[in-house]
Amino acid sequence: MKKEKTSILTVGSVAFDTIQTPSGKAESVLGGSGNYFSIAAAFYCPIEVVGVVGDDFPKSHLTWLSGRGVDVTGIKVVHGKTFHWVGSYDQNLNEAKTLSTALNVFEHFDPKLSEKHRDVPYVFLANIDPVLQNSVLDQMKAPKLVACDSMNFWITGKPAELKSLLRRVDILSVNEGEAYLLTDEKNILKAARKIRKMGPSVVVVKRGEYGAMLVTESGVFIAPSFPVDHVVDPTGAGDSFAGAFMGFLANAGVTREMAEENPEKWDHLLRQAVVAGCVMASFTVEDFSFHRLMKLEHKELAAREKSLLKMLSL
């Protein structure tokens, strides 16, 4: 009998983005952390996504997600307009400038999990209010591995709530600026180690065009990004990195207990997951929105991962 794959629950935004980059402009394209994460993670295992959209959101996209192994029954469609973010990038594509944020129906988002969602063994809390992230964990039964993301807005606006959350998660994914802000450190290694003392045993620092850094009990691992000829749109690269990272871990059956039971295997699989994340992100940036991910095939993913691993070897 074929073993049924485990699944991941993610809670985040499903949105519209309007983006200006040196390559051009994309108006009201599909976006949102929950979207990017789900599409990337679905290459590895089934996904359960919880979110909210307005009645202006295309049903065809929800149907497409369902066809890719993403359970969208947790996406609530309510009367009103979908969350819409407008941003731009200059020649430094590592940082977006937010021009406007219309929360719309997302403003009153209050995730309520079904019984099925409560039983899911792997959880990724995308970048939303830490109060909501804590609420999701309160509803979960016994997840085997919990990861979360955050951003400057929550680090400065709700520090107590965020620190309460960090005591409950196994993995934190942040960029360098967020790590510095969270810890008041100016050295990334010191910052990552300080975050580990706050609760997460694993810290993943997303470094944009420079790849990612993994900090665990056993030490540091740095993976470069896969070199891309032309970066069109970096939006969602961090979320798709997280999707592949968590998807890989869930597919491999990684749990927090493994850190003590088999630390060597734990560390090896985490490093492989970082590589998977870097590869996925390299596809995301090749087009606006997740147009490239929607065309991505498993054989392309495997070939690029093999190439990146070859770059890492001596």
pLDDT tens sequence across 300-311 = 999 999 999 999
Please check whether residue 3 lies inside any domain of the structure: no
Q: What is the mean pLDDT of residues 14-20?
A: 96
Question: Could you tell me if residue 31 is inside a domain?
Answer: yes
pLDDT digits (tens, 9 = 90+) for 34-78: 999 999 999 999 999 999 999 999 999 999 999 999 999 999 999
Q: What is the pLDDT of residues 170-181, one digit of tens each?
A: 999 999 999 999
- Share the mean pLDDT of the chain: 94
pTM of the model: 0.95
Confirm whether 254 is domain-assigned: yes
1: in domain: no
**Residue 120 in domain:** yes
Contact predicate 233/289, CB 8 Å: yes
pLDDT band at 107 (very low <50, low <70, confident <90, very high): very high
User: In Å, what is the CA distance from 218 to each residue of 176, 201, 247, 268, 271?
Assistant: 21, 10, 22, 11, 12
- Would 273 be classed as within a structural domain? yes
CATH of the domain at 239: 3.40.1190.20
Of 2 and 189, the one with more pLDDT: 189
Q: How many domains does the chain have?
A: 1
4 — pLDDT class (breaks 50, 70, 90): low
User: DSSP for 76-137?
Assistant: EEESSPPPEEEEE--S-TTS-EEEEEE-GGGGG------HHHHT-SEEEE-SS-HHHHHHHH
* 55-87: b (≥16 Cβ within 10 Å) or e: eebeeeebeebeeebbbbebbebeeebbbbbbb
Per-residue pLDDT of 189-214, as tens digits, reads: 999 999 999 999 999 999 988 999 99
> 314 pLDDT band (50/70/90 cuts)?
low
Query: Which residues form the domain of 150?
Result: 8-312
